[in-house]
Amino acid sequence: MLSYRHAFHAGNHADVLKHFVQLQLHEYMNQKDTAYTYIDTHSGAGVYALDSGYASKNAEYETGIAPLWERLDLPKPLADYVNLVKGLNPSGKMRYYPGSPYVADKAMREQDRLRLFELHPADAKILADNFRKVAEHAAAQGVVASGRGKRVLVDRGDGFHALKTLLPPPSRRALVLIDPPYEDKQDYRKVRDAVEEALGRFPTGTYAIWYPVLQRMESRSFSDKLKRLHGKDWLNVSLTVTTPGPDGFGLHTSGMFIVNPPYTLEPILRQVMPYLVEVLGKDEGATFVIESGVPLTGSAAARPGAGGAVRVPVGNARRASPLSGTGSLRLPGQAPAGTPGSAGAAGPLGRAANTSGRPTAKTSGRPTAPGSGRPSGPKPPGSRRP
C-alpha cells in the first residue's frame, strides 16, 4: 500500500521526537572515529516544503517544530536539533523541514555511509534528486568522500528486505532507523521480524524504531512486543501531546524504541522530555514516558528465537534506575503532578512511576476508532498511521 506521503505530517510532534532522538544517536556514534553505516529503511523524500503543497494542508508542523522555532530557552540537545532544522532555512523563515535522511546527512561525517531506502516512486525520486544535488554541491566544493564506496546510496526498494542484505556492515558499526507508515497493520509484524533478524545478523547495532500509539491492537501492544524480542538493552520513550479525543482520531502519542541505546541518551531524554511536554503539550493529557530494560540472563536468555536471534521472555526492567520515569504537563492552577521524569512521580496528571519497566498507563482505556490515529476531519490521501 503506497498511499502514504510523509509530506502531510512533516515537522509534527512525532517528527520532532523522532529526529531529535535520531540526532542524539548520531552524535553518540560520532564520538568514535571509526566509520559507521546509517541505514534508513523507510526514508521518505528527505526534505519537505512546509509553506506549500501537502505539508501546508493540515499544517501539522504547528504541533511540532513551529512552537520550538523562536524559543530562546531550549535545552542544549534540543537546540542542536532546532539549529539543524534552521540550517535548512538560512533566511530564518521556517520554510523547509528535514526528513531523517537529511538529519543523517548533516550529522554524519565524510567517512560514514548512508544507505537510504524508499519504496514510493515519487518520494524515491525526490530523495535521489535531493542527494544528487548535495553530491554535486560537495564535488563543486572539492569535498571527496573518504573510505570505500559511495557515501550516500539511495535505492527505490523495500527497506525491510534491504536491511538483511546490509548487515553486518563493513565497519561493524551501524545505526538503523525503521520508520514505516503503519498504515498496513502488517508493518508492526514486519518491524518486529526485521529487528529480530537484524539482531541475529548484527547483535551490536543500534536500532531505532519509530511507532505511533493508536487504538488498534497491534499498536497498543507493539512496544511490549519489542521488549520481548531481543536479548539486548532497550530504551523506550514516548511523547503524548494531547488527551486522546473521544473519536479516537488524531495522533496524540508517538514513541521511539531503541535497541542497544547509547548510555548518553536516557539522561538527555530526562532533560528534554519535560520541556517538550511543556511546549508542545495541548492539555493536561500531555505527558512523556521514559523506560529502559536490560535482557534477562541465564537459561531463559539463551533460548534461541526465530532467525537465530537469542530471545528473552521479557526485558529485565531497569526500574531502579533513577532516570526512568514519567512526566506530564501541569497547567497553571493545577496541583503538582510530581516531578516530571522522576521515579515515583504521580499525581492528578502524572502517571505512577513504572515499577516493571513498562508504562503503567495503558492505551487500552481509550475510545476505539477502528485503527485510526489520524486527526479528525477528512483523511488526506496518504494520511499517516491509520
Which residues bind to ligand SAM, rule: CB under 6 A?
Answer: 2, 4, 6, 18, 41-44, 99-100, 117-120, 123, 158-160, 179-181
Nearest distance in Å: CB 289, ligand SAM = 21
Q: Which is nearer to ligand SAM, 55 or 272 (CB)?
A: 55
Nearest distance in Å: CB 158, ligand SAM = 4
Distance (Å, whole) CA 18 – CA 22: 6
Please tell me which residue in 40, 105, 123, 179 is annotated as part of the active site.
179
Nearest distance in Å: CB 176, ligand SAM = 12
Nearest distance in Å: CB 336, ligand SAM = 35
Nearest distance in Å: CB 201, ligand SAM = 18
SS3 for 119?
A: coil
Q: Which is nearer to ligand SAM, 158 or 218 (CB)?
A: 158
For 385, counting Cβ atoms within 10 Å of its Cβ (0-12 exposed, 13-18 middle, 19+ buried), the class is: buried
Distance (Å, whole) CA 129 – CA 120: 14
Q: How many CB atoms lie within 10 A of CB 111?
A: 15
For the question of residue 179 being annotated catalytic, the response is: yes
CA nearest to 25, candidates 198, 264, 232, 211? 264
CA nearest to 231, candidates 298, 294, 299, 168? 294
Could you tell me which residues come within 8 angstroms of residue 64 by beta carbon, excluding any fewer than 6 positions away? 11, 12, 13, 14, 15, 16, 280
Nearest distance in Å: CB 303, ligand SAM = 30
Whether 39 contacts 163, CB under 8 Å: yes
Whether 64 contacts 12, CB under 8 Å: yes
Q: Which residue is nearest to ligand SAM (CB)?
A: 99
Q: Which is nearer to ligand SAM, 60 or 233 (CB)?
A: 60
122-to-69, 127, 173, 180, 385 alpha-carbon distances in Å: 29, 9, 31, 16, 19
Determine the number of helices (DSSP H) and then strands (DSSP E) in the chain. Answer: 11, 12
88-to-41, 95, 106, 162, 293 alpha-carbon distances in Å: 23, 8, 10, 29, 36
Could you give the angle at the alpha carbon of 273 between the alpha carbons of 269 and 277, nearest 5°?
175
Q: Which is nearer to ligand SAM, 27 or 158 (CB)?
A: 158
Q: Which is nearer to ligand SAM, 180 or 281 (CB)?
A: 180
Q: Which is nearer to ligand SAM, 36 or 117 (CB)?
A: 117
Query: What positions carry a catalytic annotation?
Result: 179
